[in-house]
Structure 1
Amino acid sequence: MLYMFSVKKSPLTYFLEKVSNGNSLWNTTTLGNEKGRERVYDTIFRVPWRCELLIDVGCFVCFNSFLSLLTIVPARVVMTFWKLLRTRKFKRLSTIELSDFGCFIIVACGITVLQQIDISLIYHIIRGQATIKLYVIYNVLEIFDKLCQSFNGDVLQMLFHSAEGLARCPPETQSMRFWIWRFISDQVLAAITLSACIVAHYNALPALLVSNNFSEIKSYVFKGFKKDNVHSMMYFDSIERFHISTFILFVLAQNILEAEGPWFQGFLINALSVYLCEVAIDIIKHSFIAKFNDITPTAYSEFLEALCKQTLHMQSEDAKKNLKFVPLAPACVIIRVMAPVYAANLPYNPLPWKLFWIMLFSAITYILLTSLKILIGLVLNKHATWYVNRCERRKHHLHAD
């Protein structure tokens, strides 16, 4: 059957006919339905809110782990030494104590490595490079950083396993020699891996200078992802958000030492711009990943529930879905970049008084960090308890219906 267009129609008649027949855009689009409406609202409102909430909670979980390394671990090491000095009797260390000593030694090795690096020189070299060169360097080092982080986590697990074996093996046996050798070798391997990871952390500073965000959207949005992949990606974004905080602290320390004139307002504006840009990119990325892969907002609530259960140390059905964050490298970087700031503010006094001021500054810093650790830990536990109970009540109501 052939359809013929009447050529006898005048332009005015054609226009009036189109006006009376309705919206001509329907010829090139399809009529929406309730499912399409929900999909639009999910992309614009529900997924961004739940995505940002999950990333923020994950970032605070990383921060809590970071503060534990700077407060809990040193306290446990000092307490162990105090017990040895008080009893004057060497006692077999437990798994946790060996792990604490291992982390303490690794951080000390990392800081020692960083002492050989001229931070100011690196900072000014980065600032003097062309934008396109920084873009290439950042992409290379970002991949290197991800690989080192992944391997560093595996090495640390291996170190803890060796500590457990050393703590449980019977004394004066061949197996004890084996576990001692294995613990020391794992310690060396962890220190070497950490050094490589620290290099990536240091040179990732161009993340503040060059925006790599749109290439990130391009590399993620138009690919197919399963729910578990999105879960892992959310955790990675939480860790990345924490790393950005360490980069900003790096720049703050350099500005305190070297900047002249009023600089703090400009620093705050730039730091806020970096954060807002990162938030916007994460929201856009996950909103469209959810749209193209038919991932509902409920999935992000399930991710947050799993993270809350991990915070409460509840057994998870799949340990691979846990947030894995090793704070050793960021701790080494932060200690290294903040040490010159403290040194610059020490009074010019004789050595005994200088030692006194060092101990005073260290004590004040430790008290502040411990207070912050307690506050964040309590808030995270309270939020996790509330959210898990809320999810359980919802599941109970659904089963009741």
Structure 2
Amino acid sequence: MQLPTYFIPQGFSTFITNLGIKDNTDDFVFIKSDVPCVADGVFTQSLFAGPSVTISRRNLKDAQAQGIIVISKNANVANGKVGIADAEEIIQLVANETGIATNDILIASTGVIGRSYPIEKIRAGLLGIRNKLTAADFDAAARGIMTTDTLPKLAARQIGNAKLVGIAKGVGMIEPNMATLLAFFFTDAAISKDTLPTIFRPIIDKTFNCLSIDTDTSTSDSAVILANGLAGEVEKQEFIYALQEIAHELVLAIAQDGEGATKVIEVTVDSAINYAQAKRVAKAIVNSPLVKTAIYGADPNWGRVAMAIGKCEHDKEINQEKVVIRFDDIQVYPDADSNEKLEQLQKIMHKEKVNIYVSLNVGEASVTVWGCDLSEAYIDINGKYST
């Protein structure tokens, strides 16, 4: 989508360019606020987290930031002291050019693991960026952070006099473990540093953290929000609703654009003992290669959903005699198979979005998660990713 100007929060500017990391497309994005922002972020729990994650975690300890650097096609992970030094140098270069304190600049990096930045090209490309900043172009920013994405991911809302915009990237290596891929939110609403995490983190947990493409957690997952307050205070519930809508919209866009994906899978598990159990079961289903491939081929083999539930062996409260499984409004378990029902199920599995519902009937908790099918194209993309 092309973001209308009336959705752009005030006080933000961008510098977006190609520094020679990618071929022919933008690979460097810098988004700056005119004033320091109240900020919050959540990040990957990977033991191989890159310098971009460790530095941004550190710089967010005071709940303040004024700019975000995003480098795409190079994760700068597993590069030892050189990787840390390069990331720190890039922040320092941007700080020198813009006058922003180094500890108010965050950095994110995504792409191939184990390759060093082309630091000489980056140094040269960052000269004079103070004079190259322009009015915020979030459409270009959404394109600039892409790797194997086929489409930019962007959504926006208005809350009173304030605006809220979100951009994200990600189509593979997605099984978030506190955060996701890369997702950034910018608003001119005034939100206190004590309030922002209580809004942001639960929404991330119930949207991006409920997304899975391929069960692999990235080393660079980051989700960050900046609120510069220039539009003044807004009604809290309206802001929560807008942020929830944007996050959900971006999650669906990522699922639709999953590497090699042809269909979105939405799994809702209800009547669980607690939220954690509901999420475990839902993720077991959406992550199952057998479920994914059945949906890709529109094979009405619903038994694979039962298999996936059964893998949750430590959830002893689950009793197969109480479980109900549906695809859309077609109940496939515990009812016996029939040719008519299998034909209906096959039609459902030809849809662009396949909805699976599981009732455990042991409690009151529920969750919805999202993913995509698994096709031959996923293998083709990832068999050639670094070349």
Please give the range of the TM-score, normalised by the shorter of the 2 chains.
under 0.3
Larger radius of gyration: 1
Larger strand share, 1 or 2? 2
TM-score, normalised relative to structure 1: 0.20
